[in-house]
Every structure is written in structure tokens, then in C-alpha cells.
């Protein structure tokens, strides 16, 4: 397939499975060389299945040291990075959590990982005159996540940070997009199911649960068009508009929705 992504070089985090692995596969189909990064050693098997254009890196993509090592690896294998997909994410604690450590982990993975990667990449992209940062957030980043304060807060932060990048560095040739899906058939959704409660019910009852490959196609079509807000579930846009049109009414409605889920 010949696309605008042909010949580009990308890093995808959280790429051992799920959306990350699907993004890597679709990128390679479109002619992009990809480094797949994940804390899980399974990422090596995932990359091996994708062929000679895929390279596996195992490590912590949320730490400064890990991101530095990942970028060094990508520079060595690919000769540079044109696109960075900050896709790794975790569910985090239910409700308010119990300790600071509960929040520290999810803030590091879902939010600080994006900031730290951008701090490393933006200066080199400014010098080159181009670069693309794609954050995987969630519909929870536009709406909210029933049953999990930490997930909702960090996904809102992911949306806000990507928005700031897109606005601030546009004249430098740098682009940013944010992906805000609802339910996707991934290990993350399985973790929510295992946890039970209203958070899982909210995800699975709000709309269709999509397959990662479907999401990857939608995402990369949007990236090729330099579209900022990527909504694999288009109904999220109407929900977002309803929220913005009458915030208090929306909050009352969400409270009633949560009560119904809890009753079920």
C-alpha cells in the first residue's frame, strides 16, 4: 500500500498486543518501519510476526531513562523517529484509590510518559521541521470514567497535553493527534472486566466493543489527514457536544446512569 506513511519511521508503545500491536501492523502495511515497545517480553513475538520492518524493544516507556533508551534504540534501528504513538496505558485503581502509590503508577504511565517522550522528541522535530505525536487517550478523556477517578483524570490530561502540543508547535511542522475510543477488545478491557463493578459495565454498555484492527485503520486514516481528534466510536462526538451544551444536566444524567449500573 502506498500512502503518506510510506518510508516513515515510527515508535509504538504498549505494542505487545491490543491497539498497539494493531497500529504497528497497520503502519507496516502502509510502508512504515516500526519499533514496538512494551514492558512485556511478549512484544518480541509480536514484532517477529510482523516481519523485517518491525523491531522489538522491552522496557519501561513511562520513565525518563526508559524513554531515552527507547529513542536511542529506535535511532539505531530506524535512523530516526518521524511518528511516536504514546499508546501504553493502565486501568489504575477503582474509585478514589487508597494510596498515593495507586495514583503515581497511573499518572506515570497514562500522563507523564507522554510528557517525557515529547520533551525528548520535540526539540529534534523542531530542528527537522516535522514530527508527529499520537496519544492514545479514551472517550473517558472527553467525558469521564464511571468508577475510576484516576483513569478519568489521566485520560483528560492526555487529551489536554496532546491539544497543547498540536497548538503550540504547529508552525514548527509538528502535528499531534489524540485517540479517544470507547470499548476496544483488548487486555485493558479484560482487566476492567476482571475488576467488575460500574466501570466495566459503563464501557461495555455505552457502545459497540471494537476490534483493535478496526481502530488501527481508523486511526491511521485520520493521521494521514492530520486530524487531531480521532473518534473510532463516532457517537462520542454527540455525547461530548451534549456535555458541553449543558454541563449540569449532563452531570445529573451521568449520576443517574451510574446508579442504574450499580443497581444492575
262 band by pLDDT with thresholds 50, 70 and 90: confident
- DSSP H/E element including 96: none
- DSSP H/E element including 12: strand 9-13
Are the CB atoms for 173 and 129 separated by under 8 Å? yes
205 band by pLDDT with thresholds 50, 70 and 90: low
Are the CB atoms for 184 and 137 separated by under 8 Å? no
pLDDT tens profile 164-186:
999 999 999 999 999 999 999 98
Q: What is the mean pLDDT of residues 5-28?
A: 98
| Residue among 84, 151, 169, 247 flagged as catalytic | 151
Are the CB atoms for 121 and 131 separated by under 8 Å? yes
Per the annotation, the verdict on 240 as an active-site residue is no
pLDDT tens profile 85-110:
999 999 999 999 999 999 999 999 99
Amino acid at each position: 500500500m502506498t500512502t503518506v506513511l510510506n518510508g516513515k519511521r515510527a515508535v509504538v508503545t504498549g505494542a505487545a498486543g491490543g491497539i498497539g500491536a494493531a497500529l504497528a501492523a497497520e503502519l507496516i502495511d502502509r510502508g512504515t518501519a516500526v519499533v514496538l515497545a512494551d514492558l512485556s517480553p511478549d512484544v518480541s513475538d509480536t514484532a517477529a510476526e510482523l516481519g523485517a520492518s518491525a523491531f522489538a524493544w522491552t522496557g519501561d516507556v513511562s520513565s525518563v531513562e526508559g524513554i531515552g533508551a527507547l529513542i536511542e534504540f529506535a535511532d539505531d534501528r530506524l535512523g530516526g523517529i518521524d511518528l511516536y504513538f504514546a499508546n501504553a496505558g493502565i486501568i489504575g485503581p477503582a474509585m478514589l484509590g487508597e494510596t498515593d502509590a495507586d495514583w503515581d503508577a497511573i499518572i506515570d504511565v497514562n500522563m507523564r510518559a507522554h510528557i517525557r517522550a515529547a520533551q525528548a522528541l520535540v526539540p529534534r522535530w523542531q530542528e527537522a521541521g516535522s514530527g508527529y505525536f499520537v496519544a492514545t487517550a479514551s472517550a473517558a478523556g472527553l467525558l469521564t470514567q464511571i468508577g475510576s477517578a484516576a483513569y478519568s483524570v489521566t485520560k483528560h490530561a492526555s487529551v489536554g497535553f496532546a491539544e497543547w502540543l498540536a497548538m503550540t508547535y504547529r508552525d514548527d511542522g509538528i502535528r499531534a493527534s489524540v485517540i479517544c475510543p470507547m470499548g476496544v477488545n483488548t487486555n485493558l478491557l479484560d482487566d476492567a472486566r476482571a475488576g467488575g463493578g460500574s466501570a466495566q459495565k459503563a464501557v461495555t454498555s455505552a457502545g459497540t466493543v471494537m476490534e483493535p484492527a478496526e481502530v488501527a485503520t481508523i486511526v491511521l486514516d485520520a493521521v494521514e489527514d492530520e486530524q487531531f481528534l480521532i473518534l473510532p466510536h463516532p457517537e462520542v462526538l454527540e455525547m461530548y457536544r451534549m456535555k458541553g451544551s449543558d454541563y449540569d444536566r449532563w452531570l445529573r444524567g451521568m449520576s443517574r446512569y451510574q446508579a442504574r449500573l450499580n443497581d444492575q
